[in-house]
Amino acid sequence: MKKIISLTFVLIFLLSLTACGTVGDVVSDAQSMGNSVIDGTQSIVDGAIDKTESMVDGAEEKAMNMMAGITASDAKKAALKHAGLDENQVSDVDIDLDRDNGKLIYEVDFNSGNIEYDYDIDAETGDVISADKSKD
């Protein structure tokens, strides 16, 4: 509503300038100002959409964490145990809670030397669902 009122005042102002310039100048100025208002409005809408998506993603992540039977730290320990490694032997650890075919899993990835390990750990039981390793 404020934008419509502001745009109305801008247009009234531009019409009052017709005595000072040519009609082409006034039309050009009005188009530029109208585009600025549209661009500003689009920016506000885009920002609101981004914030809403972020809030939804955060709420979904919290809900999944509450449904998991184990923590991310527990999933990491299970993967390291399966790999026969301890924490000081690994780097670049990445742990994500995700859904796979409706089942909550932790995706645990880490490196040890030039070997990359990828694990899927059952987020309810802590069991290793899948394990893969490859050379970098």
| Sign of the CA dihedral with 91 first, then 92, 98, and 101 last | negative
Output the tens digit of pLDDT for each of the chain's 136 residues.
555 665 565 556 655 655 555 555 545 555 655 566 566 666 676 766 766 666 666 666 666 666 778 999 999 999 999 999 999 999 999 999 998 888 999 999 999 999 999 999 999 999 999 999 998 7
In the numeric block, which tokens belong to residue 109? 């990835």
| Cα dihedral 65/70/73/78 (nearest 10) | -140
Return the closest-CA partner of residue 110 out of 128, 127, 96. 96
* CA gap 45, 47 in Å, rounded: 5
pTM for the full predicted model: 0.56
